[in-house]
Every structure is written in C-alpha cells, then in structure tokens.
C-alpha cells in the first residue's frame, strides 16, 4: 500500500532531507585519498548530530555506522572501517538523517582523483539513470516506468543493473512501500499517487549484475569484482512532476 503524505508531513520531511543533501556536499568537499572509510563515517555522524538530527542507519537492524561507505567493487552497505581510500577509487556514500519524526535518504558516488574512463562513465551514467528514471514522473505514472527507464539507460550504455537492492518509499520509517526496482517493464506496476514520497536509487555495475554479501551480513560486493556506483535522492511525486528534497 503506497502511502501519501499531507503538506504538513512533507514540510516536516524537508528538514532531514536538507541535512542529507548538505551532508553529502560536506563529505564531497572533504573526501580524499589517504582517508579511511571510518573517517568518512565520522564526518557524517558529526554533521548529522551538529544539525540536531539522528543518523537513521546507526543501529538499523544492528547496522554499526552512520553511513554506508562503499568502495569500488562494494556496491552498497559498505561498513566503514580501516580501509584507506586511494587515488583512482570510486566511493559511494549513502546516508539517512532522522529529524521532526521523518527520515531523509540520499547517496552519491565520489571519484577520487583520476579514476579512468570506465569508472568515470559508470559514475556519470548512474547519476543520469536517476534523472532518466524520473523523467516525466508525476501523479498517475506507473511505478515500473521508473524502473524501465533506469534499466534502459544503464543497459544501452553497456552497464548492468543490480537486482537484489531497490529504492523504496520513505517517511516516518526509513523503508516504506513501495519497493522501487531499477529494472522492470514499462506501463506496469501501481500508479503513483500525488504526495507519495519515494527514494529512487540506481545501483549500476561495470560488469555483471550478480552480488554477494560478505560474512559481516551487510557488505554487498559485485561477484565479478568489478566496480559499481550508487546515486539516490528522496522525492515527492506531485500532480505535475516531482519535487526532489535532497538535491
Ligand atoms: N540508505 C540505505 C537505503 O537507501 C539504507 C542503508 S541500510 C542501513 O535504503 F542499514 F545502513 F541503514
Ligand atoms: Co534509500
């Protein structure tokens, strides 16, 4: 069941989403070779707390950090640790903030120095997939039109779409209905109602789409060891388009 928010609830949602947006920019300005993924997590924790919010990820089903920091072959849910970020890495940072009784959620993939043409294209196309996915999106759009457009753009660029993780609704809970896959058939799925709030988050890989989860129960790595990227925003579906809250 796809929930809809009142204007008052959407007003409350703006603040955690603003914090997510600003935190991602803050990290983007500071992330560099030589830093550990744990240091990135500390930046995120401190920023969110300094803004009077809570990091939603910390303790979520036992998740041990405030951000997911996923380097190269790690597609999502990379647990921050002593891994040193190197020149040529791509680093996905995914974070959620909770304030006013609502969650905001967003992710970016950062290029560390010169990453080479393949990874550069991967990061660019992943971001483009988000914008293609929401092109023409408005109240009444079939949900899997988003999925179809993301998949189409990724695959037409020779990239593959991760199957086992999806976008989602968001609000008082970090994950609400519906699930928003990055692959699907155009014209299918429930029609999105005005004032539903969803996270659209393409997760795209350079090689095959198969993923395995490490023994820590979280870290999702590409089975073929090739790199993957992630780009995510929280948005409101409106009568005439979308309002992106984390951009
Ligand atoms: N922010 C992620 C998402 O897009 C969720 C992270 S899982 C957690 O759904 F355990 F780290 F919280
Ligand atoms: Co999300």
User: pLDDT for 124-174, tens place per residue?
Assistant: 999 999 999 999 999 999 999 999 999 999 999 999 999 999 999 999 999
User: pLDDT for 90-126, tens place per residue?
Assistant: 999 999 999 999 999 999 999 999 999 999 999 999 9
State the distance from the centre of ligand 1 to the C-alpha of 70, rounded, in angstroms.
12
How many domains in the chain?
1
How far apart CA 29 and CA 27 sit, in angstroms, is 5
Domain annotation covers residue 191: yes
Q: Which domain holds residue 13?
A: 7-244
Q: Band of the pLDDT at 71, cuts 50, 70, 90?
A: very high
The predicted model gives 221-240 an average pLDDT of 98
Domain annotation covers residue 1: no
Measure Cα distances from 141 to 21, 168, 196, 236, 246 in Å.
Answer: 26, 16, 12, 13, 21
State the distance from the centre of ligand 1 to the C-alpha of 167, rounded, in angstroms.
10
Give the CATH number, domain containing residue 76. 3.90.230.10
Measure Cα distances from 33 to 27, 36, 66, 71 in Å.
Answer: 13, 8, 21, 12
State the distance from the centre of ligand 2 to the C-alpha of 199, rounded, in angstroms.
6
50-89: buried (b, 16+ CB within 10 Å) or exposed (e) per residue? Answer: ebebbbbbbeeeebebbbbbbbbbbbbbbbbeebebeeeb
Domain annotation covers residue 225: yes
**Strand runs labelled E in the chain:** 54-55, 67-71, 74-76, 90-99, 102-111, 160-161, 167-169, 176-180, 197-200, 203-205, 211-213, 220-222, 228-230, 233-238, 241-244
Answer for the pair 79, 219: CB distance below 8 angstroms, yes or no: yes
pTM of the model: 0.98
Domain annotation covers residue 99: yes
Ligand nearest to the CA of 68: 1
- List ligand 1's pocket residues with C-beta within 6 A: 57, 60-61, 63, 68, 77, 94, 96, 105, 199, 201, 232
* pLDDT score for 70: 99
Domain annotation covers residue 28: yes
Domain annotation covers residue 2: no
């Amino acid at each position: 069941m796809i929930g809809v928010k009142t204007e008052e609830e959407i007003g409350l949602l703006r603040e955690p989403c603003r914090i997510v947006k600003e935190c991602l920019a803050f990290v983007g300005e500071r992330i560099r070779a030589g830093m550990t993924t744990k240091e990135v997590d500390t930046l995120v924790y401190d920023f969110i707390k300094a803004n009077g919010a809570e990091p939603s990820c910390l303790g979520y089903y036992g998740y041990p950090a405030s951000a997911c920091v996923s380097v190269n072959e790690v597609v999502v849910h990379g647990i921050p640790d002593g891994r040193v970020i190197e020149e040529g890495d791509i680093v996905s940072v995914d974070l959620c903030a909770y304030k006013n009784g609502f969650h905001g959620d967003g992710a970016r993939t950062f290029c560390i120095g010169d990453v080479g043409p393949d990874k550069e294209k991967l990061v660019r196309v992943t971001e483009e997939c988000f914008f293609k996915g929401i092109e023409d999106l408005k109240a009444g759009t079939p949900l899997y039109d988003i999925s179809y457009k993301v998949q189409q753009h990724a695959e037409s660029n020779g990239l593959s779409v991760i199957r086992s993780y999806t976008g989602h609704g968001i609000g008082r809970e970090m994950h609400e209905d519906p699930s928003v896959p990055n692959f699907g058939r155009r014209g299918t799925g429930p029609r999105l109602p005005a004032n539903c709030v969803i996270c659209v988050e393409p997760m795209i890989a350079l090689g095959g789409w198969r993923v395995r989860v490490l023994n820590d129960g979280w870290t999702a790595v590409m089975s073929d060891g090739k790199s993957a990227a992630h780009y995510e925003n929280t948005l409101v579906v409106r009568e005439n388009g979308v309002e992106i809250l984390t951009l």
